[in-house]
Structure 1
Amino acid sequence: MMKNTIRLLSSLFAGVACISTAYAQHSPVKSVGNVNDVKISEQQVNITTQNAYAEVAVYSPSVIRVRLDKQPLAPDFSFAVFAKPQQTKATINQDDNQVSITTDSLKLVITKKPFTTTFYTPDGRVISQDEKGLSTSWVNESVTTYKHMQDDEHFIGLGEKTGNLDRKGSGYTNWNSDTFGYRTDQDPIYSTIPFYIGIHHNLNYGIFMDNTYQSDFNFGASNNRFSSFGARGGEMKYYFIYHKHLADIITSYTALTGRMKMPPMWSLGYQQNRYSYYPDTEVYRIAQTLREKKIPADGITLDIHYMDKYKVFTWDKNRFPDPAKLTAKLKDMGLKLTLIVDPGVKTEAGYPVYEDGLKNNIFIKYSDSTNYTGQVWPGWCHFPDFTGEKGRTWWHGQIKKYADVGVSGIWNDMNEISTWGQKMPDNVIFDYEGQKVSHLQAHNVYGLEMARASFEGYRKALDNKRPFILTRSGYAGLQRYTAIWTGDNRAEDDHMLMGVRLLSSLGVSGVAFSAMDIGGFTGNPSVALYTRWMQVGAFTPYFRNHTQVNTKSAEPWAFGEEALEIARNYINLRYRLLPYLYSSFYEATQNGHPIVRSLAINYTFDPKVYSVAYQNQYEFGNAFMIAPFAGADTYGTVYFPEGNWYNLYNDEMIAGKQEKISRISTQQLPVFVKESSIIPMQSLIQSTAEKPTDTLTVHIYKGSRNNSFVYYEDDGESYNYENGTYYKRTITYNAAKRQIVFGKPEGSLNSKFKNIKVQLHGFADNDKVMLNNKSANTKTEFVSFLTPISTFDPQGVANVAEGHNVKSLTFGNSNSQITLGY
């Protein structure tokens, strides 16, 4: 009886095995399969499997790249990744069952039957692993990698994506799209950054999938088993990044994809825009009103109505008869001019730009070698091929025309590519650095390469001056060339708050210089919403007010005297904070850390920061925490992460790890300062062309944690800083030693400030201050961060005018180390 049972079970198992084998052979899904061959060479492993070819390379101690394809791997190429692999000590071993790769920061184990990957910490904890039974597979030409979804895993990043900060439970598609007035849950929108960070069990890791085809990311949408990432064509290529601290993951990601250059100082000032300001007399009126009403500003932007019938690289001679005179007069007023530029070149005989493009054969083409024609603002257009050097070089020559008349900034628009109908055919061919690919592969990278062409051309045209470049569309690595804004948003409260999350997500994804249209592009904001948005805008990287045609005017004076006064107060504060902001941008050039920082960056394992209730809160640099609320909100709950926090306006100290209900005032944006913060400020100026007084004021907030801040200056306009012409010193707060140290300056530039004034917040009356080991005389001062409003309700006056007393002392800005003790 027992023998018969065994024979029966054996037959059943054999039958199941045959069915499984047959199913696998005829399945529409092709898996990687078992490993057949392994070749090890220094930092790289090349693997052949039943159905694929794999290459696994150590890029640095914390970064490993995985490549997979159904065919032998082509030479590696990327528009995003410029970094080369670092020489890294890596131990690679194999046996019959697995291949292991170990660095001093992480370990990767590749199983052979079948091919799967698992990433471990050095002490053996699982960071990330392929989902058992799924791993990587193909459906036709689409390739997807499936990762096991950990318990309570959070996902953040992916750049410009709507929805919640935490991507858990959602899916996303990357296909750059022109999405006028997009919904707060619409996907995709304008740009593609296929990089995200996973967080679980006090671990965090990053994955960057470098593939320019349409791609899809799934973080548990319609399944409870896996997270996944994949593309509709091309190979599977991803970089796995592991660090203990989330901020270091951003640093490693931007080491791969590049970091921004220092922006021109003027681009950090307030920018006034509209679709559109014309003719030139209207531009002069706007400029003069800004100055008359004492609204600090540095730029005015012109939309498409400055062109002759929307044709790129032209001027409407009736509206703008003398562009050079316009830019010169604005310069005299301390204002720079930025122009919109679209990629479409009108197919019009006799139009010099079109004729030159034909002559130089730089337009994208159908597969039969005829130029592709699509309709956009000027009518039927051809489009330069920015994915090849020839097209970019041609663009350099055209764009010089704007530099020659004094234009300082270039705003790249409609570069998804956008055409009426939004259906560019798949059979359009792009150069793609000599590889000749279809629209399917080139689409997502077109905006990046247009921004690159604009940056490179304008940098060349301006000689040693820094250009300002803005883009609507892009791909991973865009931070090397351009700032980005979040497109055609709506004048609605939920769009303002979503805009904050978009900037936070872009920051996590390596983009430090970002913006949203303040006040909303479509529609008309209420006075309360406009006022709140202007307050929030003062704490964003690029501060641009913008509205579309056929809406009400949206300049600060258009919403009444109280709104004007509040907006001016926060613009004033922005200009006083420029030393802090400029130094924060310098940090971004060094380590990729953003200006707008999701609380997840510094408080990664605090579950409250992922709560929908608090996901809009963010840090502005490393000192401020901003808590945005809807314009009409009168009460709101703020979450304070670990540590102590100061109310910016009255120095009230608030303990962390608590939620606190607060009254929300129209006159005040809730802003808090982290304990131990170091914040350099200057006197009020009306534009960055104006010099502040010769005293730098450094605000220091007493705390229990050590902190340091790298204060940075350069000339604000050239690239001389790359050759050492800068002024930099590290300011250190040591809580245990009760000491504040201004380190010795570095660089060959002298500071523009002759004196340093230190203002000490939260220090007790009995804290006696020592300057370089000698007793220092301090005085108590009333400090107000906002100009008091004197003409409105007493409650509002009290809220805005409320200040606080602080200890202060002033000393010369010595080139030696300066030490304060207390």
Structure 2
Amino acid sequence: MKHSYLSLIAAVLLLAAEASADRYTFLGSYEAHAVNGRELTITATNNVLRLTLIDSAIVRIQVGREGTIQDIPSYAVIHRGNPLLTWELEDQPGELLLRLPAGVIHIQKFPLRMRFADAADSTLAQDEAAFGHSWDGKEFQVWRSLQKDEKFYGLGEKTGNVNKRGFQWVMWNSDFPGYGNDQDPLYASVPFFIGVHNNGAYGTFLDNSFRSVFNMGAGNNRMYSFGADDGELNYYFIFGPTIREVVQRYTSLTGRMPLPPMWALGYQQCRWSYYPEYEFRDLARNFRQRRIPADVLYLDIRYMDRFKVFTWDTTAFPDPQTLFSDLEDMGFKVITIVDPGVKIEKGYRMYEEGIQGNFFARYPDGELFSGEVWPKWCHFPDFSQSAARGWWGDKYGEFMQLGVDGFWIDMNEPAVWGREFPYLVEFDDDGRRSTIKKIHNVYGHLMAQSTYEGMQRGNAGKRPFIVTRAGFAGTQRYAAMWTGDNNARFENLRMALRTCQGLGLSGLAFCGPDAGGFYDTPSHELYMRWIEAGVFTPFLRTHSTINTSDQEPWSFGEWTEDVVRNYLNMRYELLPYLYTEFRRASQTGDPFMRPLFYDYQDDAECFSSQWQHTFTAGPQILVAPVVEEGRRFQEVYLPPGRWYDPWSGITHEGGRRIVVEAPVERLPYFYRGGAIVPRRAVQQYSGEKPLEELILDIVPADSATYTVYLDKGDGMEYLSGAYAEIRIMTFSDGLAWNIEIESTDNAWTRKLKTLRFQLLGSAAMPREVHINDEPVLFESASEREAARVVQDVQRRRFEISLPFTSGRHEFHFEY
């Protein structure tokens, strides 16, 4: 009887505990607060809330359970803030009021809830009144009120619309080959989003690597939420008010992409697999003989000895060093794939060193974890361990000594044939001992870090170039990202354009898909449309899977080859513009490929999902790819301003829709009024010829300014000032154009001999042309020929070539 009574009590207590565990606990009411420089700590009835001022527009928010806050090292954040900052705080009866230059934070005391407002005190975001911050066991959630017109952007590599409202998004790096538009999650996790409300923007970054969920109003119209399964409740609120400012501030927090080598902006050709060596050489010869520009060729997994990482199949590739030297002479760079799995094989160097150095992930009982991938059963490097990252990173130097120029890191979600590691698997985490639950989302990020740092040590002063499939917030510091194993369908072309815009808004400015699609074979039309759009995507690579039809530019017939050649020529002509904009991205975080609303936030139409496949390529060019099969006319929305159509020569007034012809060989794109777009003559690869003539496409405006960036295209000397800038200022009153040019005087500008002006929007011949008040004569045929004068009446443009020397010069065109 006694035993039964005690059992009953135990059962009741167990049920009570389970019931309690199934209910959320919420952040309690204010009890006291203390200010310590830039830290404000608020004690609550059951928790502690800390706000740390990072800079004038970024605030870190931590909530500690049971009265403690853990400061766990971040994998993502590099900007720790200014320790000399202090809060401007008002202690009012019902709230604490915090003022920043960029906005205001209202902290309601009973219970503790926060409202974030702009500098005019208009609400940007606010905690849901009843819930706010909550816990259920280890899981936590932050609940915010969902505002009527609120839109959400970013969240990294996601399918669906560019606006993420109305759906739930999961952060858990996952390998889903041939994914469709409803697949989530995917390969990379970036727990950062941008909210837009009343035309004011803000950002939220959840600095937590555990599996997290962002419910952006899915299934309800009351609230949105974000939270994680475990770990620290630690996030950053970023004030705008513009989307541009939010992105720039977020990337100041998590880092920006380094300036890549110029060749990484060229065309790249890949396949699973070019094998053996003679096929790889034939690929290179075909590009050069057909005069199709390309910079990079890839070796997929078949170059290895039975798929073992950091090995060579010496039968198929008997002398890699000579091969790569020959390809270098032809102007090609070579990138090899690297997977993290290390084959379990006695005598295999990577296996033996990993065992000896204790560099592999383990189970809690000390047994090494084994998972099956391409080489069959493998152990996996513990990239959370600094020593393991250094060991792995050093291996890249050996490949670079052979002539490998970059690395393509794959399968690093991490992926195994059973989809995932067991949750028991542990990592050193530099002495903190963490399970895969914490490390999973940053495994690819840490592999990218190991690769980047290894290339820095072994790359003889060259700029590392890495392409990764998996990543996390901050991976942009180490690698470009491609969007994984897609399909050869128009749906995937559309999805790729949306996904890359989202990645750019999430800090990963250097991104792109497998052009043409990885699985299946694209139609001629799809392949051409994809390459057309790819001219203006940051990363341009064709890639296809094994046992599919060839997918090189000449594989679809002569006409398709001609069209693709023309568009790749356009890409290479635009390299001065692309390189300048990549330099801007490395300094400011502004993505090269971005939604219309990035530059035109005040225009509500730019937020419409109807235009989410239209984007701007830098600040000067609007691109409206055709993404529907069989379409030969394209409806385009042009934001306010004037827009020049290079195909027709027509200048359109913006703020309205237009319809333009779009045969399969024509990509609709437009220069904005005031555009200054630097170009150069076509090359077969990016470093083939020195830049001796700079072409400037200029669309008239009252005034406009653009600065062209030049350096040698590789190496780290630019960080010490070894670069040139050419600042171009234009002024037009309809009767005359003044173009003022100021340039650095150094090796890069001294190579320039000619400026070729393309004045767009009018074919009228100027009556007079002056350089620094000195007339330029081109009245005779010989004078016009020397100046290479062109009047193109149909496309409304006038061209003239004029001599260039570094310094300050004024070019005056009188009509």
Q: Kindly state the Cα deviation for residue 707 of structure 1 after the two structures are TM-superposed.
A: 3.2
Query: What residue is the counterpart of 2:11 in the other structure?
Result: none
Query: What residue is the counterpart of 1:40 in the other structure?
Result: 35
Identify which of 193, 199, 215 aligns with 1:202. 199
Distance 1:332 1:445 in 2: 38
Distance 1:88 1:808 in 2: 54
Q: Kindly state the Cα deviation for residue 97 of structure 1 after the two structures are TM-superposed.
A: 2.2
Q: Kindly state the Cα deviation for residue 719 of structure 1 after the two structures are TM-superposed.
A: 0.2
3-state DSSP class of the match of 2:590? coil
Deviation string for 1:142-171 (max 9, x for gaps)? 111111112211111111110001111111
The answer on 1:313 being equivalent to 2:305 is: no
Query: What residue is the counterpart of 1:811 in the other structure?
Result: 803
Change in CA separation of 1:148 and 1:739 when aligned onto 2, cut-off 3 Å: farther
Q: Kindly state the Cα deviation for residue 802 of structure 1 after the two structures are TM-superposed.
A: 7.2
3-state DSSP class of the match of 2:185? coil
Query: What residue is the counterpart of 1:7 in the other structure?
Result: none
Distance 2:367 2:435 in 1: 14
On the 8 A contact 1:35/1:114 being kept in 2, the answer is yes
Deviation string for 1:655-685 (max 9, x for gaps)? 1111122332111111111110111111111
Change in CA separation of 1:707 and 1:429 when aligned onto 2, cut-off 3 Å: farther
Distance 2:167 2:751 in 1: 50
Change in CA separation of 1:657 and 1:373 when aligned onto 2, cut-off 3 Å: same
Distance 2:532 2:20 in 1: 61
Query: What residue is the counterpart of 1:455 in the other structure?
Result: 452
Change in CA separation of 1:781 and 1:816 when aligned onto 2, cut-off 3 Å: closer
Which structure 2 residues correspond to residues 153-168 of structure 1 after superposition, within 5 A? 153-168=150-165
3-state DSSP class of the match of 1:557? coil
Change in CA separation of 1:729 and 1:76 when aligned onto 2, cut-off 3 Å: farther
Change in CA separation of 1:713 and 1:751 when aligned onto 2, cut-off 3 Å: farther
Query: What residue is the counterpart of 1:642 in the other structure?
Result: 640
3-state DSSP class of the match of 2:514? coil
Distance 1:631 1:36 in 2: 63
Residue type of the alignment partner of 1:771: I
Query: What residue is the counterpart of 2:394 in the other structure?
Result: 397
Query: What residue is the counterpart of 1:146 in the other structure?
Result: 143
3-state DSSP class of the match of 1:573? helix
Specify every segment of 5 or more residues in structure 1 that has no aligned partner in the other structure, as ranges: 1-21, 785-800
Distance 2:156 2:310 in 1: 31
Query: What residue is the counterpart of 2:274 in the other structure?
Result: 277
On the 8 A contact 1:783/1:803 being kept in 2, the answer is no
Q: Kindly state the Cα deviation for residue 772 of structure 1 after the two structures are TM-superposed.
A: 2.9
Residue type of the alignment partner of 1:674: R
Deviation string for 1:689-712 (max 9, x for gaps)? 3114511111111125x4322211
Query: What residue is the counterpart of 2:657 in the other structure?
Result: 659
Identity of aligned residues (%): 37
Change in CA separation of 1:207 and 1:733 when aligned onto 2, cut-off 3 Å: farther
Distance 2:690 2:331 in 1: 14
Q: Kindly state the Cα deviation for residue 222 of structure 1 after the two structures are TM-superposed.
A: 0.5
Specify every segment of 5 or more residues in structure 2 that has no aligned partner in the other structure, as ranges: 1-16, 779-783
Residue type of the alignment partner of 1:656: G
On the 8 A contact 1:702/1:763 being kept in 2, the answer is no
Query: What residue is the counterpart of 1:486 in the other structure?
Result: 483
Greater shift, 553-562 or 63-72, is seen at 63-72
On the 8 A contact 1:497/1:628 being kept in 2, the answer is no
Query: What residue is the counterpart of 1:679 in the other structure?
Result: 677
Identify which of 568, 573, 578 aligns with 2:575. 578
Distance 1:521 1:410 in 2: 19
The answer on 1:79 being equivalent to 2:75 is: yes
How many residue pairs get aligned? The number is: 784
3-state DSSP class of the match of 1:131? coil
Identify which of 433, 450, 471 aligns with 2:430. 433
Deviation string for 1:700-753 (max 9, x for gaps)? 11125x432221111111000011111113223345796432224277754532
Distance 1:560 1:586 in 2: 37
The answer on 1:55 being equivalent to 2:53 is: no
Query: What residue is the counterpart of 1:30 in the other structure?
Result: 25
Deviation string for 1:484-514 (max 9, x for gaps)? 0000000000101110111111111111111
Query: What residue is the counterpart of 1:68 in the other structure?
Result: 63
On the 8 A contact 1:728/1:747 being kept in 2, the answer is no
Distance 1:777 1:56 in 2: 67
Query: What residue is the counterpart of 1:789 in the other structure?
Result: none
Distance 1:108 1:781 in 2: 60
Change in CA separation of 1:331 and 1:183 when aligned onto 2, cut-off 3 Å: same
Query: What residue is the counterpart of 2:544 in the other structure?
Result: 547
3-state DSSP class of the match of 2:90? strand
Deviation string for 1:531-587 (max 9, x for gaps)? 111111111111111100011000000001110000000001111111111111110
Which structure 2 residues correspond to residues 491-510 of structure 1 after superposition, within 5 A? 491-510=488-507
Query: What residue is the counterpart of 2:720 in the other structure?
Result: 723
Q: Kindly state the Cα deviation for residue 595 of structure 1 after the two structures are TM-superposed.
A: 1.2
3-state DSSP class of the match of 2:73? coil
Query: What residue is the counterpart of 1:791 in the other structure?
Result: none
On the 8 A contact 1:756/1:813 being kept in 2, the answer is no
Q: Kindly state the Cα deviation for residue 127 of structure 1 after the two structures are TM-superposed.
A: 1.4
Residue type of the alignment partner of 1:643: G
Distance 2:761 2:350 in 1: 62
Query: What residue is the counterpart of 2:12 in the other structure?
Result: none
Change in CA separation of 1:806 and 1:88 when aligned onto 2, cut-off 3 Å: farther
Distance 1:413 1:685 in 2: 31
Deviation string for 1:398-443 (max 9, x for gaps)? 2222111110010000000000111311111112233211111110
Q: Kindly state the Cα deviation for residue 368 of structure 1 after the two structures are TM-superposed.
A: 1.1
3-state DSSP class of the match of 1:281? helix
Deviation string for 1:740-794 (max 9, x for gaps)? 322242777545322222221124738665433455557685589xxxxxxxxxx
How well do the aligned residues superpose, as a CA RMSD in angstroms?
2.1
The answer on 1:562 being equivalent to 2:572 is: no
Distance 1:84 1:802 in 2: 56
On the 8 A contact 1:53/1:68 being kept in 2, the answer is yes
The answer on 1:222 being equivalent to 2:214 is: no
Deviation string for 1:581-632 (max 9, x for gaps)? 1111110111011111111211224332232321110111111111112342
Distance 2:98 2:33 in 1: 13
Identify which of 679, 696, 699 aligns with 1:698. 696
The answer on 1:326 being equivalent to 2:320 is: no
Distance 1:514 1:751 in 2: 33
Residue type of the alignment partner of 1:373: S
Change in CA separation of 1:654 and 1:344 when aligned onto 2, cut-off 3 Å: same
**Normalization by structure 1: what TM-score?**
0.92
Query: What residue is the counterpart of 1:175 in the other structure?
Result: 172
Query: What residue is the counterpart of 2:127 in the other structure?
Result: 130
Greater shift, 200-209 or 278-287, is seen at 200-209
Deviation string for 1:108-152 (max 9, x for gaps)? 111111111111222221111111111111122111111111221
